[in-house]
């Protein structure tokens, strides 16, 4: 179908600090005991997209991600892993691999996306309108639902304060305005020209940019070449394209202009007629109407381009792993409401317990839980809505609720863990009580300590980051 | 002798007058009916008050019941509104024509059965032209004593040309079966139920009528009996004769066939004749003359040959097993709409809104589909492209792209593999939206070109040649054809004209704009209709160019028509009986124009002509989104039908096309010149092959 796929897997994101480390870049963070990147790769594989370019920040991270991919998808996918320097934006990442891009359209997917919206739908919407960019929007997930307590509420409050503002045309197919949460202050500035051309704009605050874009390659490259200051796709390129859709600058010297030029070169009368027939027969979008001028008689058609939006239906799951809260939420959802994403088959109790896991007497593992390979649990433990990784050793009388425990974690007797994330190789000594904490890899929590909403990590790690 | 009872409305007589004309023209002469026609003629003279109507063959807008009935509804329910069908008296209520004519023949009060005689003869004759039939219940067993032949005239839409023959029974299986059943039930007793084709056995009827008449002039009350007896005796006699004759003839033919072709075919023949006779068993034979049967015998072999050429019939979507099969094959998952209109169940109708997301999500999974074809398909599905020419051009251009990117796989020949590929594209496009006839013709052309490629050509040469062929087709058959049509049509536009057009036709738009450029001074009336409101786009372009326009909806067409001097209409297709297949509502506009004596000019490129004959808009049509008609855009308060889609007794019908009978059409403007609708078959015959050749 003439699409190329670029997966932007990121590096070691600062937002996820105690969780990610040199050893575990963001792309390899486990979601239901699988690296988060695998969700994207499998989504693409399902859509028959098997030639991928994965862009990773940092050489080390690239090596690790590449190693994992080649191990896991050795004969299923054809993946090229490209490394870009750390700290570059998404736009720069694309600039770096620009010479690899040859197809007509490019699908850019964020590596931290966990969703079941077929990317084909975005691509189809993109093709249908011949758009320059099509962005997938999904409804903002309600973070910290159920009983994750106060922290969830806090986050919600925080989020409702700053949300994306997205303007759509009445048919909900075109993007008219986009402002990311960071930019939104008290006022929203809208362009009069767009508003005048469309006549009606729907402004939504309940939509989230899923970081799944279809770009027209030539247009994208033109933007990247012309605007060297652009750092990020979401914050610079997309708003720019949306802003300039009725006075398109890029198409004047982009490759699309070539196409236009070609048409004009070959514009004998007879060539124009069919295209005119086609144009008359198709329902014109406001772009075409605007291009022709108010009364259909603009002397020179104005250059426009289309920015489309694909709005995922509410029944689809779509979330991005871009914060610790999101990490918790996604882990919970993948074992819970979006269980089809995990790829595991659930037992009758609606949980997954690896056959090699050992449970002590009177230990209960509730629904929506996951217990990894080779983990051992002592007596009288209780696990609710949590994911426990491989080869963990958990003592007796331990309570794990709403938490994620990664691999090779040792938990002493009598611990209570609530709403926390415990990274690999952590040791929790006896009777530790953790609530809403993140424990970085390799950390040792001393016995009887009680923490609330803290981020625990080895000092030198944090400094090195 | 022809006392016209004053209480009979004159209008009723008029309704039967076309049938009378038809009778005279079509039937072999026959004494009894002749007197009968004489009677009619007399009446006719008595009624000179509506001259325009007398002259035309088909006058009245024919009312047809569209099948808003369901099989679920029990028959008693349906017939409840009518008096229970008893013997003869209620019959006269049923048909206005019979009612009106009966007093002429014999005074009604005295002889019910005689009344029935004349009435039923008339009835069937009038029905043969598809005169208005009050209810669909006419076809029901409960009204057995109404005479209808195997020909089911109520199905002929809007007064299609009266020369229908029973074999042109176009109705789908359900219907014909229905009518056959019915005929069987309405068995032998009804002598006049024998008029399947409009070929009436006139001698018998006429003579009886004559005699009956003579006697009744004498004033005997027993006349009726006599007449009936006569009728009864003469009829079987004749039948027997013809049957035996025909049998003998068939026997001889069969022998000849058997000698020629061997046992198997003979057997088949036998089966066929058996089938034929069984089909006709219901009503007594009418096409009695030897000549007729001979003709039939002669016709058969070519028919057989033709069968091979005829493409497989369109999928009938009321055939459950086949639909299931097709579903399994289908690329696009489609949910069949519920509550479809009974009469149109054979057409595909899916839940709108489910197809597009599904197809979109499969974007990358449809491996063999070329992106260009996919794009066109999705645009069809979403309704981004509409209009015959545009769809055809879009499709051809997509195929061109696909051919450019095509490379023959090893160990395959280009001609075969590419044909298969095109076939898969076409079936994908059909899944998105049923093909238009113009597209079908274009596909036929392309396939013919692929097959005719010489084997010596290299792959790249072949591709170049095909691409240029497609360009050529677009250019010659659409672009240049449009120019020729425009050139012809502007000669018909005079200063001061008021031109009416319906919907949005690309050719008509070009004509109007060109005429405007030539400086002609005219006014345009754009008639539009819900739910598509395509006319607004046309209006916008016309007004933008400075034409003076009037915009109205089809509801007001009768008001606006008197000031119109010409009607220009586009067409999706012109069929070989001169019928125009076009956007729904066209027939209505044409009919109104005809009634006001406004010439109706159809502008249609010759590549859209089709050899098919279609008499109604039922057997081949397209269903649109039914919810489009239940909603009124921009009126939130008109929401009476919201959430009513699942009501069992509500069926929404959004037909996309209708057929305009050739009677309403003054002229068809094509790239071969301006022709009357009767010349369409000539163009199809003479130039049809040319489409495939260029």
The answer to which of A97-111, A345-359, B470-484 has the lowest mean pLDDT is A345-359
Residue A47 has what pLDDT?
83
Tally Cβ neighbours within 10 Å of residue B92.
18
- Residue from the list B364, B375, B393 with its beta carbon closest to the beta carbon of A277: B393
Residue B512: pLDDT over 90: yes
Q: Tell me if chain B has a CB within 8 Å of the CB of A315.
A: no
**B600 falls within a domain:** yes
Same structural domain, A243 and A375? no
> B579-623 pLDDT, tens per residue?
999 999 999 999 999 999 999 999 999 899 988 888 888 888 888
* Separation in Å, CA of B532 to nearest CA in chain A: 11
Q: Tell me if chain B has a CB within 8 Å of the CB of A119.
A: yes
Same structural domain, B450 and B509? no
CATH number of the domain to which A13 belongs:
3.90.550.10
Residues of A (41-100) whose Cβ lies below 8 Å from B: 47-49
Residue B569 has what pLDDT?
93
The residue in chain B having the minimum alpha-carbon distance to the alpha carbon of residue A124 is B360
The CA-CA-CA angle for residues B195, B199, B202, to 5°, reads: 85
Percentage of chain A exceeding pLDDT 90: 1
Residue B589 has what pLDDT?
94
Q: What's B655's DSSP letter?
A: B
H-helix or E-strand spanning residue B354: none
For chain A, give the longest Cα–Cα distance.
Answer: 86
Residues of chain A contacting residue B387, judged by C-beta atoms under 8 Å apart: 277, 280-281
Helix (H, G, I), strand (E, B) or coil at B321: helix
CB within 8 Å: B375 and A296: no
* pLDDT grade for B53, boundaries at 50, 70 and 90: very low
Same structural domain, A322 and A432? no
* Separation in Å, CA of B391 to nearest CA in chain A: 8
Place of tokens 């450029």: B517
> A308-341 pLDDT, tens per residue?
888 888 888 888 888 888 888 888 888 877 777 7
H-helix or E-strand spanning residue B674: strand B673-675
> A23-58 pLDDT, tens per residue?
788 888 888 888 888 888 888 888 888 888 999 888
Residue B353 has what pLDDT?
61
* Domain ranges, residue A323: 1-143+164-185+192-249+303-343
How many A-B residue pairs are in contact by the CB < 8 A criterion? Answer: 101
CB within 8 Å: B364 and A119: yes
* Separation in Å, CA of A136 to nearest CA in chain B: 13
Whole-complex ipTM: 0.75
Same structural domain, A107 and A218? yes
Same structural domain, A117 and A235? yes
Residue B13: pLDDT over 50: no
* Highest averaged pLDDT of the listed ranges A278-287, B340-349, B400-409: B400-409
Residue A264: pLDDT over 90: no
> B201-225 pLDDT, tens per residue?
444 444 444 444 444 444 444 444 4
Q: Give dist(CA B420, CA B652) in Å, integer.
A: 38
Residue A180 has what pLDDT?
74
The answer to which of A14-18, A336-340, B333-337, B374-378 has the lowest mean pLDDT is B333-337
> B378-391 pLDDT, tens per residue?
888 888 888 888 88
Same structural domain, B585 and B516? yes
The CA-CA-CA angle for residues B659, B661, B664, to 5°, reads: 120
CB within 8 Å: B506 and A128: no
Query: What does the mean pLDDT of chain A come to?
Result: 79
Q: Give dist(CA B32, CA B209) in Å, integer.
A: 6
Residue B497 has what pLDDT?
92
Q: What are the distances in angstroms from CA A421 to CA A404, B197, B214? A: 5, 86, 111
* pLDDT grade for B346, boundaries at 50, 70 and 90: confident
* Domain ranges, residue B510: 492-621+656-693
CATH number of the domain to which B457 belongs:
1.20.120.420
**A294 falls within a domain:** no
What value does the mean pLDDT take over residues B484-495?
92
The CA-CA-CA angle for residues A350, A46, A42, to 5°, reads: 65
Last residue of a domain, one of B476, B506, B523: B476
Same structural domain, A172 and A80? yes
Residues 6 or more apart whose Cβ sits within 8 Å of residue A352: A335, A342, A344, A345, A346, A369, A370, A371
CB B376 within 8 A of CB B393: no
* Separation in Å, CA of B464 to nearest CA in chain A: 17
Higher pLDDT, residue A163 or B116 = A163
Same structural domain, B467 and B528? no
The residue in chain A having the minimum alpha-carbon distance to the alpha carbon of residue B533 is A283
Residues of chain A contacting residue B478, judged by C-beta atoms under 8 Å apart: 274, 277
Residue B563 has what pLDDT?
93
CATH number of the domain to which A431 belongs:
2.160.10.10
Same structural domain, A225 and A374? no
Half-sphere exposure for B534 (CA within 13 Å, toward CB): 20
| Domain total in chain B | 2
Same structural domain, A4 and A57? yes
| Domain total in chain A | 2
Residue A79: pLDDT over 50: yes
> B425-457 pLDDT, tens per residue?
898 888 888 888 889 889 988 998 888 888 888
Q: Give dist(CA A406, CA A445) in Å, integer.
A: 15
* Highest averaged pLDDT of the listed ranges A189-203, B137-151, B265-279, B390-404: B390-404
* Separation in Å, CA of B460 to nearest CA in chain A: 21
What value does the mean pLDDT take over residues B299-323?
55
Residue A267: pLDDT over 50: no
Higher pLDDT, residue B641 or B57 = B641
CB within 8 Å: B364 and A274: no
Last residue of a domain, one of A326, A343, A360: A343
């Amino acid at each position: 179908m003439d699409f190329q796929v670029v997966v932007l897997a990121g590096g070691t994101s600062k937002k996820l600090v105690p969780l990610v480390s040199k050893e575990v870049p963001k792309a390899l963070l486990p979601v239901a005991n699988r690296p988060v990147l695998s969700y994207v790769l499998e989504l693409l594989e399902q859509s028959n997209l098997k030639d991928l370019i994965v862009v990773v920040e940092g050489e080390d991270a690239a090596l690790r991600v590449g190693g994992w991919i080649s191990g896991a998808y050795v004969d299923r996918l054809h993946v090229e892993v490209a490394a870009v320097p750390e700290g570059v934006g998404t736009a720069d990442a694309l600039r770096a691999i620009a010479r690899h891009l040859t197809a007509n359209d490019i699908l850019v997917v964020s590596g931290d996306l966990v969703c079941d919206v077929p990317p084909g739908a975005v691509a189809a919407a993109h093709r249908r309108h011949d758009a320059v960019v099509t962005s997938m929007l999904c409804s903002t997930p309600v973070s910290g639902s159920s009983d994750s307590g106060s922290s969830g509420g806090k986050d919600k409050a925080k989020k409702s304060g700053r949300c994306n503002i997205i303007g759509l045309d009445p048919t909900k197919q075109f993007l008219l305005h986009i402002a990311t949460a960071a930019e939104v202050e008290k006022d929203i500035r809208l362009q009069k020209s767009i508003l005048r051309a469309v006549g009606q704009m729907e402004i939504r605050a309940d939509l989230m940019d899923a970081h799944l874009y279809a770009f027209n390659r030539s247009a994208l490259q033109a933007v990247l070449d012309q605007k060297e200051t652009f750092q990020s796709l979401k914050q610079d390129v997309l708003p720019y394209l949306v802003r300039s859709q009725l006075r398109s600058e890029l198409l004047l010297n982009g490759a699309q202009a070539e196409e236009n030029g070609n048409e004009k070169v070959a514009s004998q009368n007879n060539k124009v007629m069919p295209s005119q027939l086609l144009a008359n027969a198709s329902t014109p979008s406001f772009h075409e109407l605007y291009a022709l001028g108010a009364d259909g008689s603009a002397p020179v058609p104005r250059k426009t381009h289309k920015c489309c939006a694909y709005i995922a239906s509410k029944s689809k799951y779509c979330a991005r792993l871009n914060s610790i809260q999101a990490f918790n939420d996604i882990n919970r959802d993948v074992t819970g409401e979006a269980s089809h994403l995990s790829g595991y088959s659930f037992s009758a109790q609606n949980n997954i317990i690896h056959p090699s896991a050992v449970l002590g007497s009177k230990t209960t593992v509730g629904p929506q839980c996951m217990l990894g390979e080779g983990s051992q649990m002592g007596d009288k433990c209780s696990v609710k809505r949590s994911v426990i990784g491989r080869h963990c050793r958990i003592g007796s009388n331990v309570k794990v609720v709403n938490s994620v425990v990664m691999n090779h974690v040792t938990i002493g007797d009598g611990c209570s863990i609530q709403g926390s994330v415990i990274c690999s190789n952590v040791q929790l000594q006896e009777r530790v009580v953790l609530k809403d904490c993140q424990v970085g890899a390799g950390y040792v929590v001393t016995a009887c300590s009680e923490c609330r909403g803290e981020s625990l990590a080895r000092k030198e790690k944090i400094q090195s980051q | 002798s022809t006392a016209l009872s004053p209480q009979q409305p004159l209008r009723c007589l008029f309704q039967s007058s076309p049938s009378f004309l038809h009778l005279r023209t079509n039937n072999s002469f026959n004494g009894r009916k002749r007197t009968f026609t004489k009677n009619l003629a007399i009446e006719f003279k008595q009624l000179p008050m509506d001259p325009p109507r007398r002259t035309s063959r088909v006058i009245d807008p024919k009312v047809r019941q569209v099948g808003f009935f369901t099989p679920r509804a029990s028959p008693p329910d349906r017939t409840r509104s009518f008096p229970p069908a008893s013997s003869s008296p209620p019959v006269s209520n049923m048909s206005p024509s019979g009612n009106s004519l009966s007093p002429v023949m014999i005074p009604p009060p005295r002889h019910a059965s005689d009344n029935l005689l004349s009435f039923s003869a008339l009835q069937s004759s009038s029905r043969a032209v598809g005169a208005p039939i009050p209810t669909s219940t006419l076809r029901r067993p409960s009204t057995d004593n109404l005479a209808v032949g195997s020909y089911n005239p109520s199905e002929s839409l809007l007064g299609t040309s009266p020369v229908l023959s029973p074999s042109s029974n176009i109705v789908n299986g359900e219907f014909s079966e229905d009518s056959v059943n019915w005929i069987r039930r309405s068995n032998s007793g009804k002598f006049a139920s024998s008029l399947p084709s409009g070929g009436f056995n006139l001698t018998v009827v006429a003579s009886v009528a004559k005699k009956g008449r003579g006697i009744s002039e004498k004033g005997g009350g027993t006349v009726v009996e006599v007449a009936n007896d006569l009728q009864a005796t003469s009829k079987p006699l004749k039948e027997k004769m013809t049957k035996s004759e025909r049998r003998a003839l068939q026997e001889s033919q069969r022998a000849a066939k058997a000698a020629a072709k061997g046992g198997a075919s003979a057997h088949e023949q036998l089966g066929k004749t058996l089938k034929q006779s069984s089909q006709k068993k219901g009503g007594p034979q009418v096409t009695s003359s030897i000549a007729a049967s001979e003709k039939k015998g002669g016709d058969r072999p070519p028919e057989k040959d033709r069968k091979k050429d005829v493409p497989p019939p369109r999928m009938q979507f009321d055939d459950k097993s086949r639909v299931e099969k097709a579903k399994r094959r289908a690329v696009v998952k489609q949910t069949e709409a519920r509550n479809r209109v009974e009469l149109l169940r054979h057409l595909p109708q899916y839940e709108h809104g489910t197809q597009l997301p599904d197809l979109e999500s499969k974007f990358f999974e449809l491996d063999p589909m070329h992106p260009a074809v996919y794009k066109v398909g999705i645009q069809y599905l979403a309704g981004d492209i509409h209009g015959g020419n545009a769809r055809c051009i879009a499709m051809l251009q997509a195929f061109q792209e696909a051919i450019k990117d095509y490379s023959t796989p090893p160990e395959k020949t280009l001609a075969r593999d590419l044909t298969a590929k095109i076939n898969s594209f076409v079936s994908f496009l059909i899944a998105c939206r049923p093909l238009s006839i113009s597209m079908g013709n274009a596909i036929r052309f392309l396939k013919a070109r692929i097959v005719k490629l010489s084997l010596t050509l290299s792959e790249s040469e072949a591709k170049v040649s095909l691409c240029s062929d497609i360009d050529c087709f677009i250019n010659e058959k659409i672009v240049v054809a449009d120019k020729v049509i425009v050139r012809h049509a502007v000669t018909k536009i005079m200063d001061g004209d008021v031109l009416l057009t319906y919907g949005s036709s690309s050719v008509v738009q070009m004509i109007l704009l060109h005429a405007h450029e030539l400086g002609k001074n005219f006014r345009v009336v754009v008639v539009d209709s819900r739910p598509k409101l395509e006319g607004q786009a046309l209006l916008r372009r016309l007004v933008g160019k400075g034409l003076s326009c009037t915009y109205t909806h089809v509801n007001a067409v009768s008001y606006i028509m008197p000031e119109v001097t010409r009607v220009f209409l586009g067409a999706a297709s012109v069929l070989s009986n001169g019928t125009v297949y076009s956007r729904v509502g066209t027939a209505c506009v044409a009919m109104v124009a005809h009634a006001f004596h406004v010439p109706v000019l159809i502008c249609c490129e010759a590549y859209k002509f089709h050899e098919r004959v279609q008499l109604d808009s039922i057997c081949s049509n397209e269903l649109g989104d039914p919810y489009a008609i239940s909603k009124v855009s921009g009126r939130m308060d008109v929401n009476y039908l919201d959430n009513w889609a699942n009501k069992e007794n509500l069926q929404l019908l959004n037909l996309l096309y209708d057929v305009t009978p050739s009677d309403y059409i003054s002229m068809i403007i094509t790239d071969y010149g301006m022709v009357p609708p009767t010349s369409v078959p000539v163009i199809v015959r003479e130039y049809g092959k040319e489409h495939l050749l260029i």
